[in-house]
Amino acid sequence: MNDSFARQVDYLRISITDRCNERCLYCMPEGYKGWQRTQDHLKAEEIVRIVGVAARLGFRKFRLTGGEPLLRGDILEIVSGMKSIPGVETIGLSTNGTKLAKWAQPLRTAGIRTANVSLDALDPGVYHEVTGGDVNAVIAGIDAAVAAGLERVKLNCVLMRGVNEHEIWPLVLFAAERNLPLRFIELMPLTRTDVLTDKNFFPVGEAIQRLGEHDELIPQPDTRIGHGPAKYFLLKNTGALVGFIGALTNLHFCEACNKMRLTADGKIRPCLGDHGEIDLRPALNSATSETLLHETFLEALRQKPLEHLFRSQYQPLRPMTAIGG
C-alpha cells in the first residue's frame, strides 16, 4: 500500500493497553490520570480481526506495544491469533522488559519474533529516576529474551539532558557485551509539558559526538534493523551497533515512514506526531465490518501526512502511553 506521498506503508504498531507498571518521565509520568476505560480497549478477537484486514491490504510487519503490552493477560491469545493470519510476516513486541523474564519463552512459542526493550539507564538509581522501576528486572528480561531464542532483541534509550546523558557510554558497553543493537532516541513532545523543556532535550547529534570521544564511529548507511527510522553506526573497537532516532533534529525523518498505529481504544493513527485519528469502532460494530474496516484503513492511509508536527508547536493532547509507542 502506498500513501499519498508514494511511501510504502506495511507496518502496523498495535497498542494493546494504555496501562503500564512504570512511570517514565517521557511517556506517562507519575500522577497521570487520563486512563482509558479498559472496557473501551479492543478485545483480543477484535485485534485479530483488524490484523486480518490489515494483512489483506498489504501490512506485513506488526508490533505489539502499549503502555506495557505484557500487562495484558490475553497477549498470548492475541499473538497466536495474529500468527495464523496469512500475510503476517513478523510480530514484534515493544516492552519495558520488567516482565520478560517470565514471558519471553511463551511469547516466542506463541509467535513473537523480535523484542525492543526500553533501557534508559544501567545505574539503578538513574533508571529508577527515569522510570520508577527496577533495572535488574529489565536486565533479567533481556537475558531471558535472548535465551528464549528471539531473532532480535534491540535496546532503546530515550535521551534526557541532565537525567541519563551519563548513561550513554555504559549502555553502549552493555549492548556490545551482549551483541545487541542499541538505539538512542530524541525526546518527542509526548508527555507532560513541564518535562518537555529545551533544557531536557538532548539531540542525537550530541550523543554521536560523545561516542566519538570513546570510539570510532563507522556509518552503516545500508543498515536497517527491523522497520524503524534509526541511522546506524558500528563502533570500531567495542563492536557495538548503535542507532540514532533523531525525530526532531533529522529533517528527513519522515521521508521513509512506513508505519501507522492502532491505539488500544481502536483508533488508527496515521502519524505519531499528528493528532489525526480515525475510529475503527463503527466499522467493527457494523454488519459489513470487513468492508468498512478495509475502507477505514484506506482512508487513514489517505490522511497520512507528509511529516510530523513535532517541530511546529505540537501539543501532547495524548501522551505516548495513550497512543502506543
Contact residues for ligand SAM, defined by CB under 6 A: 20, 26-27, 65-66, 68, 94-96, 118, 156, 158, 185, 187-188, 190-191, 320-321, 325
Q: Which is nearer to ligand SAM, 171 or 185 (CB)?
A: 185
Q: Which is nearer to ligand SAM, 51 or 142 (CB)?
A: 142
CB of 71 to ligand SAM, least distance (A): 9
Q: Among all residues, whose Cβ is closest to ligand SAM?
A: 325
CB of 47 to ligand SAM, least distance (A): 16
CB of 291 to ligand SAM, least distance (A): 32
Amino acid sitting at position 240: A
Count each helix (H run) and each strand (E run) in the chain, helices first.
Answer: 10, 12
- Distance (Å, whole) CA 99 – CA 58: 32
How many residues belong to the chain?
325
Residues 127-162 as b or e (16 or more Cβ within 10 Å = b): beebbbbebebbbbbbbbbbebebebbbbbbbbbee
Please tell me whether residue 94 adopts helix, strand or coil conformation.
Answer: strand
CB of 69 to ligand SAM, least distance (A): 7
Q: Which is nearer to ligand SAM, 20 or 121 (CB)?
A: 20
* Closest CA relative to residue 258, chosen from 226, 222, 232: 226
Continuous H helices in 111-250: 124-131, 135-147, 168-178, 204-212
Q: Which is nearer to ligand SAM, 36 or 94 (CB)?
A: 94
CB of 271 to ligand SAM, least distance (A): 15
Query: Looking up cell 558500528, which residue turns up?
Result: 234
Q: Which is nearer to ligand SAM, 9 or 16 (CB)?
A: 16
